[in-house]
Structure 1
Amino acid sequence: MVGSQTNPDMQRPSGRSNSVTERLTDLGLTLPQAVRPSHLFVPALTVDGLVTTSGQVPVKNGVLLAQGMVGLDVDLATAQDCARQCVLNGLAAIREEAGDLERVAAVTKLLVFVATGPGFTEQSAVADAASGLLLELFGDSAVHVRSAIGVVALPRQAPVEIELAATIRP
């Protein structure tokens, strides 16, 4: 990678399937349909080859996986599951925008918001679940920059909200 060093823990293991779709299947995961926002914005937008998603909350089959504040109402393991679901929802939005996840050249940024109770300081541990899933799916192409931010509240009382950015091949 130009201008940076790759963390050796972030390498895709050998012997993995080649396509993102195959890796999803290998992991027993299914990409949902992109969630349609109920407001005046789109799930994802591409400008000059960079697709950026709107914030994705952990909705699966139309229902939030959890509600409340991490460290009070939601434990760390559940928050990590929520982060992984947010990534799947974000990838669904990218697939809809780009037409195919195989067009993703690189995941460039992950922005993770965690609704937290007082004293909770493990926002990075929640974000690690999202980063880990992206690395499992995209390998070295998912080495990204990231911010993990604790907030007082998120839409619909979601414990986690994630935005993704990725470059797309023509």
Structure 2
Amino acid sequence: MADAGIELPEGYPPAGLYVGAVRVGNHLHIGGHGPVRNDGSMVTGKVGDGVDLQAAQAAARLTGLQMLHTVREELGSLDAVDRVVKVFGMVNCAPGFNNTPAVIDGCSQLFLDVFGDDGVHTRAAVGMAELPFDICVEVEALFLLRDEN
């Protein structure tokens, strides 16, 4: 990842009574993550009303980086990941904004950049009227782990 200029953020604690990841067999379920910067501030607002597509894609990428931080913390290394299975992306969007797949592409492209062909995944990208703390995106994911982990 460092060769590709990708650095993981510091991470942040869950905002409620849950954990960021749960391992079940050879699957790692990553709970909802948002676009939190290293200084603790969040990327907020509604896509299509104050947040443009490029900013939303960058927020989705940041969210993916936060998720990868959680994976590394949970497993010790991203090398334990065999493939990305599924991504579920939620976009805080203004009425009439329906290009949610393009927003979540920011996260999906990151996973492709990091894992190559093993980053190809199934996905949903849905629009929401509101998200916690007014964040502009929230993403969950499912990872398949290598057998030796």
Bin for the TM-score computed over the shorter chain = over 0.9
Q: 1:164 aligns with which of 137, 141, 148?
A: 141
Provide the residue aligned with 1:30 in structure 2.
7
Unaligned runs of 5+ in 1: 1-23
For structure 2, the 5+ residue unaligned runs are none
Q: Which runs of 4+ in 1 moved over 6 A?
A: none
1:63 aligns with 2:41: yes
1: distance between equivalents of 2:145 and 2:73?
Answer: 12
Identity among equivalent positions (%) equals 40
Contact 1:34 1:96 (C-alpha < 8 Å) held by counterparts: no
Quote the RMSD (CA, aligned, Å): 1.0
Q: TM-score, normalised by structure 2?
A: 0.94
Amino acid in the other structure paired with 1:63: S
1: CA distance, partners of 2:136 / 2:93: 8
Structure 2 SS opposite 1:34: coil
More strand by share: 2
Q: Does 1:153 align with 2:108?
A: no
User: Cα offset for 1:33?
Assistant: 2.9
SS in 2 for 1:30: coil
1:75 to 26, 42, 52: 52
Bigger drift between 34-43 and 89-98 goes to: 34-43
Residue in 1 aligned with 2:79?
A: 102
1:50 and 2:31 matched: no
Which residue of structure 2 aligns with residue 92 of structure 1?
Answer: 69
Corresponding residue pairs, total: 146
Matched, 1:128 2:90: no
What code does the residue aligned with 2:18 have?
A: F
